[in-house]
A and B are shown apart, each in its own frame.
Chain A
Amino acid sequence: MSDEMMHRREVLRRVALMLGGAVSAPAALAVLQGCSAKESASASAFTPKFLTGPSEMDIVTEVAEIIIPRTDTSGAKDAGVPAFIDSVLAGVYPKDAQDRFQAGLKEFAAMAATSGSKFLGREPAQRAAFVRQSLEKALEGERNPKPFILMARELTLLGFFTSKVGITENMEYVAVPTAYHGCVPLSQLKKHVYWE
């Protein structure tokens, strides 16, 4: 076992103690399996670099988890997607896209508030319904530039499928395949999606 992994275990143990054992099982597993710092960040507290205040971060976190929830496999939160989204917004997005995301997020929250109740105050099923409606509406309308909900969706998928749990739980990930086989029955794959 590497020093780094020992360190992760120790960090995890302390965080778990601090939070009264509230670290989610898949997240704990992920940390123990030696996942990236990105995913560790979701298990401990992280300070957003771009999204301001708890409400922006919380809404984005819930939207991501509604798009990819934890079921019998990990969800967006387990994969560290919220922190990923914040970091991509901060580091990768140009100013105009950052502004669009943030304005769209405000609009999303305001729309929820005026069409019933505040997004974060809703029951899970109602939150999911609102996300679904927002997506359907966005897909009917102008998609260039991308509206907030589609940006959030794209970032969720990207973050999830560049995370260790997202990749390894849903795809056959082979770091060193040794050979390429051009025509293989799907039934011969352990998982149907081969990471490439």
Chain B
Amino acid sequence: MEQNSFDAIVVGSGMSGGWAAKELTEKGLKTLVLERGRMVRHPDYPTATKDPWDLPYGNRITQETRQRKPVQTRTGYPTPANQHWFVDDLDNPYVEAQPFDWLRGYHVGGRSLMWARQSYRLSPMDFQANAKEGVGVPWPVTYDEMAPWYDKAETFAGISGSVEGLPQLPDGKFLPPFDLNCVEVDFKKRIDEKLGRKLIIGRVANLTAPLTHNESPQRGTCQSRNMCIRGCPFGGYFSSVSATLPSAERTGNMTLMANQIVYEIIYDNDKGKATGVRVLDAETGKQTDYFAKVVFLCASALGSAYIMLNSTSSRFPNGFGNDSGELGCNIMDHNKPGGSNASVEGYLDVAYTGRRPNGFYIPRYRNVGKDKRDYLRGFGYQGRAARSGFGRFNDSALIGDDLKKAFQEPGPWNLGMTAFGEILPYHENHAKLDPGRKDKHGLPLLVVNAIVRDNERKMEADMRNDAAEMLEAAGYKNVKVNSDNYNVGNSIHEMGTARMGNDPKNSVLNKYNQVHACKNVFVTDGSFMPSSGCQNPSLTYMAFTARAADHAVSELKKGNL
């Protein structure tokens, strides 16, 4: 028992787990980090420096991979360059009561290796929305309370972006912004003039300049290769592998173990505390208990909910900390029903060099200020303008010399964008365990049941039409509206399964991400979110995790945990 005892246990090593590990170890806690997947160490990313001709099949996914990874591959995210970061679905099954895209990376670093790096703050408007509109539960935290933690997360991670002064998308501590390209600058000007809508360069966790601190000597600046998803040997973008875990490692206080599947929290009824976690070794099946004074669940919204639902006791017959009945419920993501694209005339004598790992962002403008719609909340767009490539010749009759001459010149410009819309929290959108169905480890399967509902459906019309409206207002041609068949989960922003709130009767966590009913367990991944905003959420998870770790250590010191 002695050797299995630590000050803190962090479950998961991704976006949130890495931050928990860094903060807890830096504050002197002997911390065990348990990752269910394999080990990954910076800068060992197997495909990171492969040239395009070194990737098999023109970087197209094989039937063999599709057969092993049917859910991952149906989304189009994996390619041979990155497929090793996406789980084998046959080995890691779940049940889709409704179609649900559960994109997972079971390895050290989790999805912080594959994320799109878009980093936005929630705004005061987002923190106030639930309370103001009577939706779900009020956020127990204000923007002002979170602002210093956002500062901290941005400064450490290195977020590039432009200062804009938009109330719905607060500015932060930014490294220099990436360039918009010539056509994007044109588009920005036109939609601002015609429609009063703002377009900004994406705020992205890539180092456009050296970090402003000396805590990450292993990281270099972004080289504009745009191969981030493979893992970056330069450390040019933030991941837990490149940034937070090395910091934790340097303290000498971290024990990081791979292939350790945490499936249960151990609860001591007499003490009214969690004493540790139960673990299965993914390779040997060996069961081990680990003990600590404090436990951080950072296993992803569905992963952490799974562990809590699977941790029943006489005190918690319906799942750990589930007095409210909200555990596993209120699953949110960002609705992505489509967007629009168009061809842009002119600008033929200009192009760009380098590969920008980023695009433009159009912050939410619906239900902002005086704008009022027949639905709640809003959406933002992510997009880019580019010169079209050789694909434009797929359906052409040009052959031979004519074709060769044509493909040695860049194609016309096109501009496309995709909408990401807020999904409201619905109790009915839930995940639960099916004890009758087991995986290869004998663990029950998670059943996920989440759909978009009336508010999201109403918003979809604007999400598609506004995109086309902007492209038309800009005078672009061949404007096409795309209707994508969106499954919840496809934006890979799943959240809300253990929401925070002031009232233990309708929320699982308090304002410091502590389980209301068991104060030495913290949940700091997307589980805690009472609403989703329409912004990419990772930066918010970082900020809340850092704050929760600070609170945990302070409470430990006071003897309150």
Contact = CB atoms under 8 A, between A and B. Distances in A.
B400 A139 contact: no
Given A88-B58, A178-B223, A186-B350, A68 B403 contact: yes
Interface in A74-129: 84, 87-88, 91-94, 128
A193 B408 contact: yes
Contacts of B410: 186, 192-194
A67 interface: yes
Contacts of A69: 400-401, 404
Contacts of B454: none
Contacts of B348: 186
Interface stretch (B94-102, B137-145, B180-188): B180-188
A180 B182 contact: no
Contacts of B352: 180-184, 194
Contacts of B395: 139, 143, 150
Chain A facing B: main interface SS: mixed
A192 B353 contact: no
Contacts of A153: 393-394
Given A132-B397, A180-B224, A36 B54 contact: yes
Contact of B354 (A38, A67, A179): A179
Contact of B408 (A170, A183, A184): A170
A42 to B, nearest CB: 13
A170 B179 contact: no
Nearest to A162: B58
Interface string A155-196: 001110111100100101111111111111111110111111
A60 interface: no
B55 A162 contact: yes
A131 B356 contact: no
A125 B60 CA distance: 33
Interface of B: 49, 51-64, 178-182, 184-185, 223-226, 348-356, 386, 389-391, 393-397, 399-401, 403-404, 407-410
Contact of B355 (A66, A170, A196): A196
Given A159-B58, A186-B348, 7 more contacts: A93-B63, A135-B399, A180-B352, A182-B179, A193-B409, A194-B352, A196-B226
B199 to A, nearest CB: 13
Contacts of A174: 353-354
Interface string A33-72: 0011011000000000000000000000000001111010
Most chain-B CB neighbours within 10 Å: which of A67, A128, A191? A67
Contact of A92 (B60, B226, B356, B408): B60
Interface residues of A, number: 60
A42 B344 CA distance: 40
A39 B53 contact: yes
A10 interface: no
Contacts of A179: 223-224, 354
A26 to B, nearest CB: 14
A66 B398 CA distance: 11
Most chain-B CB neighbours within 10 Å: which of A88, A91, A182? A182
Contacts of B407: 170, 193
5 contacts: A38-B53, A73-B404, A170-B408, A182-B179, A196-B386
Given A91-B62, A164-B51, A192-B408, A183 B181 contact: yes
Contact of A67 (B51, B61, B399, B409): B399
Most chain-A CB neighbours within 10 Å: which of B51, B180, B185? B51
B399 A131 contact: yes
B34 to A, nearest CB: 36
Contact of B52 (A66, A167, A177, A183): A167
B95 to A, nearest CB: 25
Contacts of B224: 177-180
